[in-house]
Amino acid sequence: MSERIQDIANKMVAEGKGILAADESTETIKKRFDTIGLESTEENRRDYREMLFRAEATAETVSGVILFDETLRQSARDGTPFTKVLAEAGAIPGIKVDQGAKDLALSPGEKVTEGLTGLRERLKEYYELGARFAKWRAVITIDGDLPSWNCVKANAHALARYAALCQENGIVPIVEPEVLMDGDKARHGIDRCYDVTLWALNTVFDELYDASVALDGIILKPNMVVPGQKSGEKASVEEVAEKTVRCLKEAVPSAVPGIAFLSGGQSDELATAHLSAMNAMDTLPWKLTFSYGRALQAAALSAWGGKRENEAAGQRAFNHRARMNALAATGKWSEAEEKKVA
């Protein structure tokens, strides 16, 4: 393994670039395809992802792509392995390795992410297939008195064990503790989100330290500090940016090279605006960028509609969204830029 994980991590947060999350499970991509009336076959999934991977903006603005197991093993229509397609575009192939969030024993309403069994062996195979980073998502729900200490601790511990196994195998771990934004109606305002996010991040970094994980060889993928969608509370772009950065400064060591946000159900444009506002603030100790899935893909999926003759339209929609987020990653996005013709 000649590549240093620190070098890979820094490439993943290169200036003006971000990460495309294209790791939807077969079940999730089916739900996306259902919205355009398209059957979720292996061929259709391949065609959709090839459209994204060969878009102009992938080479311009994407530093890495998180893949699903099936996609990592697939080739484009012309027979070129997707790992080579991405490498030629300058994007690092990554892989989702968790096996989903399952019910947490004795903690009703809460989840813990599973997938540690056999992970070392799977990582070795994924490395040979070309993956150089991985992703593991933990989910934390705000609902009444939740989250519990059991949930926060169990998920943080699993994230640390996963991260250590990744680094052992020359793979950069994306560490993703997501505080969901769709929790309790009455008790999920922005301040409650701040407190729970800070708690989760502090616990995760304690566990990473205990597991001897090299912090300069990880990428953090957190939620932004936003009010819950059911809370009825509104927050300005500036408030979200200020509170998110303040929370990160309290919890995230400066050794971490970069933070790639998930969009977490925000609208495409709002996720972009929040990211840009954070990057327009004072100098920060880490790079802030995007690791979006739906917020990068929704417009492209709609424009494509599952039809080969619409591939160019789908790519134009993706190019626009990716370029807007590239601007946001340098704090230079604006509504005027957003309104330019894709």
Number of Cβ within 10 Å of residue 191's Cβ equals 13
Q: Which of 24, 110, 176, 178 is catalytic?
A: 176
Residue 171 · residue 3 · CB < 8 Å: no
Active site residue 31: no
Token code pair at residue 247: 């929370």
Q: CA–CA distance from 136 to each of 8, 172, 232, 313 (Å)? A: 17, 11, 30, 32
Token code pair at residue 161: 């064990």
Cα radius of gyration rounded to whole Å, the chain: 19
Number of Cβ within 10 Å of residue 43's Cβ equals 10
Q: Give dist(CA 328, CA 320) in Å, integer.
A: 12
Active site residue 221: yes
Q: Which of 17, 96, 135, 221 is catalytic?
A: 221
Residue 303 · residue 310 · CB < 8 Å: yes
Residue 74 · residue 46 · CB < 8 Å: yes
Residues with active-site annotation: 176, 221
